[in-house]
Structure 1
């Protein structure tokens, strides 16, 4: 289609909302009901969800769609983890609201705030002989999946290796 400017190219790794890291496999119209669409679409292959393909208009603004963090930015972020402040909201409901808000940014620095906050809470609760509450467990896993998945690509590491690397910085 003439005149459509695409932000990403085939082969690019991007963040596409809750799908996380996706690779742009193709750009072009899709068949809807046997008819080619007039719009251009990204054909996105989620890296950590096997057997799925995501289709989204190239001009979509409904979902966060951005390039993944660069290798340089990943190293800078990791070197600054100890300076990232945890979330200080005390009430569970208020903290959950902040978790939800930060999760929707899909920004590594904001997600590290969640991970750091919950890691601290987990340590305190374990010292008290208590388990982490389900809400904290849920958001810890969601934030870790997003951050580790994204950082693993530019760092050329497995997610588990990135996790060990980050946890050393948090502790």
Structure 2
């Protein structure tokens, strides 16, 4: 059970802080316990039953985040074998449902490769890919930001510096 003040990754909402535990106001006679969650990068308030089915896990530790960043060059894209937009969307959504940073990295690499191939052929990257890329970056960078105590907007530059120092070492 999470405690007040804990940082968790809650489904597709990203990193949230547990701000309360108990029955939410306005839900009289509700015998279920709820987490009150405040997304770090949002304004809504989420009431999640303690026994909810939505994936909830602790935020990566700083060591886990650093390890993930160090592994980025070795993580392979998972190139889809279909051009069907609905099938692609479903496949991309599975990366979000897994609530895994590793799956988000694979998704981002897959989208980057697809976008690069489209540009080489003189085409613009697809809108589906753009939507999922933005969402995956928001979730991944939000968690790395919380784990490493670095502002979210500085995460891409931090990753580039880290990976650049690995190749020169």
TM-score calculated relative to the size of structure 2: 0.87
- Alignment counterpart, residue 15 of structure 1, candidates 9, 14, 35: 9
- Written as runs of structure 1 = structure 2, the 5 A alignment for 1:98-113 is 98-113=91-106
- Alignment counterpart, residue 163 of structure 1, candidates 133, 153, 156: 156
Q: Distance in 2 between matches of 1:159 and 1:74?
A: 13
Q: Distance in 2 between matches of 1:158 and 1:108?
A: 18
Superposed displacement of residue 116, structure 1: 0.9
- Alignment counterpart, residue 129 of structure 2, candidates 136, 140, 144: 136
Q: Post-superposition, which runs of at least 4 consecutive aligned residues in structure 1 deviate over 6 A?
A: none
Counterpart residue number, 1:124? 117
Residues 46-102 of structure 1, C-alpha deviations (whole Å, 9 max, x = no match): 11112x2111111112x1111111111000000001111101223123443321111
Aligned positions, number:
161
CA RMSD in angstroms comes to 1.9
Superposed displacement of residue 36, structure 1: 4.5
- Alignment counterpart, residue 81 of structure 1, candidates 72, 78, 81: 72
Instruction: Work out whether 1:57 is the aligned partner of 2:49.
Output: yes
